[in-house]
Amino acid sequence: MGWLQRRRARARRRRIAEGTSAGDAWTPALGSGPWRVWYAECCDALLAFDRVVAALPPGPVRDGVHGHRPSLVALLDTARRTAELGAFLDPDGPGRSPALVAALAADPLGDLTGSLGPSPTLPLRDRVLLVRAELAGIADAAARIGLRLHEHPHATDVGTWLSGLGAGVDQAHRAAWLPVTYRAAGEDQ
Amino acid sequence: MTPRHLLEVAEEAHARYWRALHTLVPMSPAHRRLLAGAPRLLAALERAERLAALVPTAPAHVTAGRSRRDPSRRLTGRQRRSVRDRHLHNLGLALLRLERAADAAVAVAVAAALATTARGDVDSVVDDELAALSAALDELR
């Protein structure tokens, strides 16, 4: 890899890091279809987590909860990659296009729509929705920690709460793992 | 649904195949397999274009139920259809095959992107989808 490619790869990584750390639903541009909506909901879950962290009183609990944020940004990056792939392969979502269904149904010798299988991009939709559910669950767990801390300011089992949150983050990472073989061209493997 | 609409759907299937091809790592086995199948898809698209050009001028009347050469022989249900209907049906079948090939290519790209197990299993998942792609491309012959 030459210096020009390395420089482009660095610039691309920097752009991706800036985009994902901000949690902006409009970056990257995913069109106006369902992929953008699902990715935006993932961003909403991360923003909900940020609101919970901002509402926590300063201290070790807040630092402990905030320490999981880089993992959540990585999860959001997984959702971004999956949504980008889905929007590239099927811009209108995993459903069959109405023009195709109408064309096959209008066959003079019989309806051909039964010969089509399910849309191949359904697994991508399931993966984005899984990441969305995991992010929302982690934001809920963080909110529960904040509520408990508010009700019991002198609780001694805060470490248990935080380890439970960490286990949830680990489980989300395992569920939403994406192999490195299919990173976008130009990025480091 | 006019032949022009059918052709637009066929062209969209062809474009989906190429988009799936572009998501794969260049010169990977899956990429090479999809690249090798692309001319067959193009040939199927050209056949669909020829059929679409034939439809408007094809006779639309329904033929008699008996063969002209041998009146004692009854025609099959398909033979009794008008030529235009048969062209339209063949166009629909070509469209279906193109769509299946594009689906198989997209399935290869999705399987490669989503395989969540070890490296060896990733290859086996993609291999399964590549076998399905080969079957779909064989239908295009």
Please write the tens of the pLDDT for every residue from B63-115. 676 777 777 778 777 777 888 888 989 998 999 999 999 999 999 999 888 76
Q: In a 10 Å sphere around its CB, with 0-12 CB exposed, 13-18 middle and 19+ buried, how is residue B92 labelled?
A: buried
Residue B43 clears pLDDT 70, i.e. is over it: yes
CA A77 distance to own-chain centroid: 6
Tell me the chain B residues in contact with residue A107 when contact means C-beta distances shorter than 8 Å: 88-89, 92
CA distance A69 to B44: 50
**Which of B114, B117, B129 should one mutate to test binding to chain A, selecting the residue with the greatest count of A CBs within 10 A?**
B114
Residue A99 clears pLDDT 60, i.e. is over it: yes
Are the Cβ atoms of B103 and A124 closer than 8 angstroms? no
A78 touches chain B (CB under 8 A): no
Q: Crossing angle, helix B29-54 and helix B3-23, to 10 degrees?
A: 170
Return the pLDDT at B94. 92
What residue spans of chain A are helical by DSSP H?
A: 3-22, 34-55, 60-66, 69-89, 98-105, 122-151, 158-175
Return the pLDDT at A183. 41
Residue A188 clears pLDDT 50, i.e. is over it: no
What residue spans of B55-118 are helical by DSSP H?
A: 83-114
- Average pLDDT estimate for B39-56: 91
- Average pLDDT estimate for A80-101: 87
A77 touches chain B (CB under 8 A): no
B127 Cα to chain A: minimum distance (Å): 15
B9: its two tokens: 């759907």
Return the pLDDT at A175. 67
Return the pLDDT at A58. 86
Please check whether residue B32 is in contact with residue B39, taking contact to mean a CB–CB distance below 8 angstroms: no
Return the pLDDT at B47. 93
CA distance A144 to A158: 12
A125: its two tokens: 């939709």
How many angstroms separate the Cα of A135 from the Cα of each of A20, A24, A48, A68?
A: 14, 15, 9, 11
Q: In a 10 Å sphere around its CB, with 0-12 CB exposed, 13-18 middle and 19+ buried, how is residue B102 labelled?
A: buried
- Nearest-Cα residue of chain B relative to residue A173: B116
Are the Cβ atoms of B106 and A115 closer than 8 angstroms? no
Contacts of B67-73 with C-beta under 8 Å, sequence gap 24+, read none
A171 touches chain B (CB under 8 A): no
- Average pLDDT estimate for B122-138: 78
pLDDT above 70 covers a percentage of chain B that reads 89
Tell me the chain B residues in contact with residue A106 when contact means C-beta distances shorter than 8 Å: 1, 92
Residue B20 clears pLDDT 90, i.e. is over it: yes
Residue B46 clears pLDDT 90, i.e. is over it: yes
Residue A56 clears pLDDT 70, i.e. is over it: yes
CA distance A66 to A169: 12
Please check whether residue B103 is in contact with residue B7, taking contact to mean a CB–CB distance below 8 angstroms: no
A8 Cα to chain B: minimum distance (Å): 18
Average of per-residue pLDDT values in chain B: 84
Q: Of the given ranges (A85-94, A166-175, B37-46, B81-90), which has the lowest mean pLDDT?
A: A166-175
Q: CB under 8 Å to A178, separation ≥6 — which residues?
A: A78, A81, A82, B113, B114, B116
Are the Cβ atoms of A109 and B104 closer than 8 angstroms? no
CA distance B16 to B106: 7
- Chain B residues with at least one Cβ partner in A under 8 Å: 1, 5-6, 8-9, 12, 16, 19-20, 23, 25-26, 78, 81, 85-86, 88-89, 92-93, 95-96, 99-100, 103-104, 106-107, 109-116, 119, 122
Q: Residue B92: what residue type?
A: G
Cross-strand partners of A94: none
CA A99 distance to own-chain centroid: 30
CA distance B23 to B31: 9
pLDDT band at A32 (very low <50, low <70, confident <90, very high): confident
Residue B125 clears pLDDT 60, i.e. is over it: yes
Return the pLDDT at A24. 59
